[in-house]
Amino acid sequence: MTQPSRLAIVPFVSVDRMMKLVLAIGVERFLTELAAYIEEDFRRWELFDKTPRIASHSHDGVIELMPTSDGRLYGFKYVNGHPKNMREGRQTVTAFGVLADVGSGYPMLLTEMTILTALRTAATSAVAAKYLAPKGARAMAIIGNGAQSEFQAVAFKALLGIDRLRLYDIDRSASEKCARNLAAKGFDITICSTGQDAVEGVDIITTVTADKQYATILTDNMVGSGVHINAVGGDCPGKTELHRDILLRSDIFVEFPPQTRIEGEIQQLDADHPVTELWQVMTGQAEGRKAPEQITLFDSVGFATEDFSALRYVRDQLQATGLYEELDLLADPDEPRDLFGMLLRAAMQPAA
Amino acid sequence: MTQPSRLAIVPFVSVDRMMKLVLAIGVERFLTELAAYIEEDFRRWELFDKTPRIASHSHDGVIELMPTSDGRLYGFKYVNGHPKNMREGRQTVTAFGVLADVGSGYPMLLTEMTILTALRTAATSAVAAKYLAPKGARAMAIIGNGAQSEFQAVAFKALLGIDRLRLYDIDRSASEKCARNLAAKGFDITICSTGQDAVEGVDIITTVTADKQYATILTDNMVGSGVHINAVGGDCPGKTELHRDILLRSDIFVEFPPQTRIEGEIQQLDADHPVTELWQVMTGQAEGRKAPEQITLFDSVGFATEDFSALRYVRDQLQATGLYEELDLLADPDEPRDLFGMLLRAAMQPAA
């Protein structure tokens, strides 16, 4: 087979290459640089084509497509959410994504996004907390110590200087796994036996549990004044983590209201309950934290622009690192109108 | 690097592999078998999750995602349409697609779909014509002799026995290319110098031009009674091929009305102009061709179920042919909750 031309080739970052990329850059620096891309895109929020994700729900979970574009680049992510997968040795969430050139419609990057989504979710939480967490925050509770927990911890250390962690999970071995993975990362870590214990004296509460149901990970009495809540786990219809009363005491910050009202903690509230859009805080059009006693809540569900930022960031690392493969994804006949002829000529090539 | 586990691997059909697959099966047999998958899925139409494609329009073209699911499998296609690409040596339309398992959300196939879309579009046209073309049809005009034209010809020969072609394109070299590519396929081919000449005495008129504009490839006087029109080229807002008067004289058959009213020839008509859904003809709930003098029109825009059928078909050929690669697309830690640990352990592996 003749080699496909350069136009037909799409750079591909496999899981293996993504791990090498993160390790080559360093996970802290990766999160910090990625956070800057995410913040940059939030600041030019109004430029983006925004649409709630396109979800295909089934009994066991959901498959979603999350497209967006800034008019120059187009990105989308494929992501599933299947809580039962864990029991079968599979990931609850797996993802991959594509960045494309709006001018030609040609894909420029195909990449795994299971690891990348974990990174961008944590980076987004940390960016939000920069604007919302109490000044000088050092201690964070992480409730739910699954696949996302370490990424949250490292992002909050890299961006905010959080260095004291209080871990809680209904499965203590998950907390132990989290503590073990973070052992060399410079944290003071306490494993707690209740959620109540975990939130004791912290500045930030991160909830990142995985069950697809209405749960009450935090009850109202657990949340003291001045705390920032980073609610990451409640991210689809029927899946919430916080008691409704907490929401009523908090100032709530969201990514994209039409999506968050369906998927976030605020699905528990009236459709017109006031929320503040994160991008407006970043651009100075709205206030973030106003007072030390205020309870701030980032009702994170994950939005397409964050994946777009992550795709942009990965794309920008390829040339320097060479950590990609070349995928023969696009048909590229010598003569664009001659797709059939390309097929006929392939029959005359010697076998590869 | 340790090998990723089987769960992490997604079969990938590159352009090269797709060409080998089509050639190994034979293009006529491929089209015939694919047509059977398409018809099978049209017959169980009501089972599918249907949504108009999600389009991102820009000055130069459009990028679309076309998802659908039958509750057991989920498929989507990424496809662009950029008419200006041809002038830059690129394809107007390129595509790739994914088939996934609804139960786990895990992708089961990633494949090029530029070639596959050309095949499924032609197979769908031929399936529709089985129900709509006049009995005993032998002669077809093809107006627009670009990348799709040969696929249409071969599909109509394989499924309907069409063996006389009258070709017309504003660029005569396109017709010559089409005739050359079809030389060994058993057609009696005439290259015509006008559209009027091309439609002379034919049973079927296939229009498959590519310009993104309102065009009038067929005027009313060119269409005699009893003809079946297979209108393939008009497939996005602002792009039509037929004079409105032809539509008013025809019985119009469509794939999915909410999409066709936006993208098809019938965007020229009132939103309540009667149309018949193709699946209802196939299931016997509606009539196809009723009389020899009737003008039937298949207003083809391409629908997600057809891509779904094509993905299913390709997936079913993989094991017997081995014509795929293995893509390390999904992160698969030994312990699903330990994504971060997988990253840490990758640092301890020797370099690949």
Give per-residue pLDDT as tens, A32-88. 999 999 999 999 999 999 877 788 999 999 999 999 999 999 999 999 989 888 888
* Mean pLDDT (whole number) for B151-160: 98
SS3 state of residue A277: strand
Distances in Å between the Cα of A129 and the Cα atoms of A32, A134, A304, B34 are: 13, 9, 19, 52
State whether B268 and B280 are in the same domain.
Answer: yes
State whether B35 and B93 are in the same domain.
Answer: yes
> What's the confidence (pLDDT) of residue B352?
45
Token pair in block for residue A351: 């076998």
Chain B residues close to A74, C-beta within 8 Å: 56, 63
Give the gyration radius of chain B's Cα atoms. 22
Q: Give a yes or no: residue A312 inside a domain.
A: yes
Angstroms from A138 CA to nearest CA on chain B: 22
Give residues with Cβ within 8 angstroms of A243, minimum separation 6.
A216, A218, A219, A220
d(CA A83, CA A288): 33
Token pair in block for residue A136: 């000088």
Residue B139: give its domain's CATH number.
3.40.50.720
Q: Dihedral of CA B21/B27/B32/B36: which sign?
A: positive
| A178 or B1, greater pLDDT | A178
Nearest alpha-carbon partner for B141 in B180, B169, B171: B169
Residue type, A62: V
- The residue of chain B nearest to residue A346, with distances taken between CA atoms, is B19
d(CA B244, CA B268): 6
Query: What phi-psi label fits residue B226: left (phi over 0), alpha (psi between -120 and 50 degrees) or beta?
Result: left
| B238 or A279, greater pLDDT | A279
Give residues with Cβ within 8 angstroms of A329, minimum separation 6.
A8, A9, A10, A12, A107, A110, B14, B15, B96, B112
Angstroms from A57 CA to nearest CA on chain B: 9
| Record: contact B336-A147, CB cut-off 8 A | yes
Angstroms from A36 CA to nearest CA on chain B: 21
Chain B residues close to A304, C-beta within 8 Å: none
Nearest alpha-carbon partner for B140 in B158, B156, B125: B156
| Record: contact B15-A181, CB cut-off 8 A | no
Chain B residues close to A145, C-beta within 8 Å: 337
* Mean pLDDT (whole number) for B130-158: 96
- The residue of chain B nearest to residue A351, with distances taken between CA atoms, is B20
d(CA B302, CA B232): 8
Residue B127's CB is within 10 A of a number of other CB atoms, namely 25
| Record: contact B327-A62, CB cut-off 8 A | no
Share of residues in chain B with pLDDT > 70 (%): 95
Q: Is B235 a catalytic residue?
A: yes
For B63, phi then psi, to 5°, come to -120, 130
Distances in Å between the Cα of A104 and the Cα atoms of A9, A313, A326, B64, B76 are: 14, 21, 19, 13, 20
- Relative to beta strand A204-207, strand A139-143 is parallel
Task: Please state at what angle helix B114-132 crosses helix B27-43, rounded to 10 degrees.
Answer: 70
d(CA A24, CA B194): 62
Q: Give a yes or no: residue B125 inside a domain.
A: no
Which residue in A58, A91, A337 is closest to B71 by CB distance? A58
Type and span of the H or E element at B196: helix B195-198
* Mean pLDDT (whole number) for B288-314: 96
State whether A275 and A174 are in the same domain.
Answer: yes
Of residues B203, B235, B299, B307, which has the active-site annotation?
B235
| Record: contact B67-A54, CB cut-off 8 A | yes
Geometric angle at alpha carbon B2, from B1 and B7, rounded to 5°: 125
Q: Kindly state the DSSP code that residue A221 receives in the 8-state scheme.
A: G
State whether B164 and B202 are in the same domain.
Answer: yes
Q: Give a yes or no: residue A120 inside a domain.
A: no
Mind giving me the DSSP string for A30-50? HHHHHHHHHHHHHHTGGGSB-
State whether B317 and B238 are in the same domain.
Answer: no
State whether B43 and B185 are in the same domain.
Answer: no
Chain B residues close to A86, C-beta within 8 Å: 336-337
- The residue of chain B nearest to residue A343, with distances taken between CA atoms, is B19
| Record: contact B105-A114, CB cut-off 8 A | no
Q: Kindly state the DSSP code that residue B67 receives in the 8-state scheme.
A: E
pLDDT band of B300, cuts 50, 70, 90? very high
State whether B139 and B158 are in the same domain.
Answer: yes
Which residue in B18, B54, B181 is closest to A344 by CB distance? B181
For B20, phi then psi, to 5°, come to -60, -40
Which residue in A14, A150, A331 is closest to B15 by CB distance? A331
Strand partners, B251: B296
Give residues with Cβ within 8 angstroms of B240, minimum separation 6.
B214, B215, B234, B264, B265, B267, B268
State whether B86 and B153 are in the same domain.
Answer: no
Give residues with Cβ within 8 angstroms of A149, minimum separation 6.
A142, A167, A174, A178, A206, A208, B340
Angstroms from A245 CA to nearest CA on chain B: 30
- Relative to beta strand A107-112, strand A95-101 is antiparallel
State whether A199 and A251 are in the same domain.
Answer: yes
| Record: contact A65-B51, CB cut-off 8 A | no
- Relative to beta strand A164-168, strand A188-191 is parallel
Q: How far is CA B161 from the centre of its chain?
A: 20
Residue type, B267: Q
Q: Give a yes or no: residue B330 inside a domain.
A: yes
Token pair in block for residue A295: 């309870």
Provide the number of structural domains found in chain B. 2
Q: Where are the alpha helices (DSSP H) in chain A?
A: 15-25, 27-43, 114-132, 149-160, 172-181, 195-198, 244-249, 257-263, 278-282, 304-321, 339-347
Q: Give a yes or no: residue A1 inside a domain.
A: no
- B310 is in which domain, residue-wise? 6-115+305-346
Of residues A169, A203, A235, A307, which has the active-site annotation?
A235
Which residue in B12, B103, B347 is closest to A23 by CB distance? B347
The per-residue pLDDT string of chain A (352 residues; one tens digit each, 9 = 90 and over) reads 445 667 779 999 999 999 999 999 999 999 999 999 999 999 999 999 987 778 899 999 999 999 999 999 999 999 998 988 888 888 888 999 999 999 999 999 999 999 999 999 999 999 999 999 999 999 999 999 998 999 999 999 999 999 999 999 999 999 999 999 999 999 999 999 999 999 999 999 999 987 656 678 888 889 999 999 999 986 667 778 899 999 999 999 999 999 899 889 999 999 999 999 999 999 999 999 999 999 999 999 999 999 999 999 999 999 999 999 999 998 877 777 888 999 998 888 765 4
B40, B309 contact by CB (below 8 A):
yes
d(CA A108, CA A265): 35
State whether B111 and B223 are in the same domain.
Answer: no
Token pair in block for residue B74: 């989920």
| Record: contact A174-B337, CB cut-off 8 A | yes
State whether B322 and B256 are in the same domain.
Answer: no
Q: Give a yes or no: residue A352 inside a domain.
A: no
Residue B326's CB is within 10 A of a number of other CB atoms, namely 13
Residue A314: give its domain's CATH number.
3.30.1780.10
State whether B149 and B192 are in the same domain.
Answer: yes
| Record: contact A88-B104, CB cut-off 8 A | yes
Type and span of the H or E element at B30: helix B27-43
| Record: contact A340-B118, CB cut-off 8 A | yes
Cβ-in-10-Å burial (0-12, 13-18, 19+) of A350 comes to: exposed
| Record: contact B177-A92, CB cut-off 8 A | no
Angstroms from A90 CA to nearest CA on chain B: 6
Chain B residues close to A107, C-beta within 8 Å: 78, 94, 96
Q: Give a yes or no: residue B123 inside a domain.
A: no
Q: Dihedral of CA B148/B152/B153/B154: which sign?
A: positive
- Relative to beta strand A95-101, strand A73-81 is antiparallel
Cβ-in-10-Å burial (0-12, 13-18, 19+) of B183 comes to: exposed
- Relative to beta strand A296-299, strand A251-254 is parallel
Angstroms from B207 CA to nearest CA on chain A: 15
Furthest CA-CA distance within chain A = 75
Chain B residues close to A330, C-beta within 8 Å: 15, 91, 94, 96, 112, 114
Chain B residues close to A96, C-beta within 8 Å: 107, 329-330
Residue A269's CB is within 10 A of a number of other CB atoms, namely 17
Q: Give a yes or no: residue A284 inside a domain.
A: yes
State ipTM.
Answer: 0.88
Chain B residues close to A103, C-beta within 8 Å: 58, 60, 82
Answer yes or no: is pLDDT of B130 > 80: yes
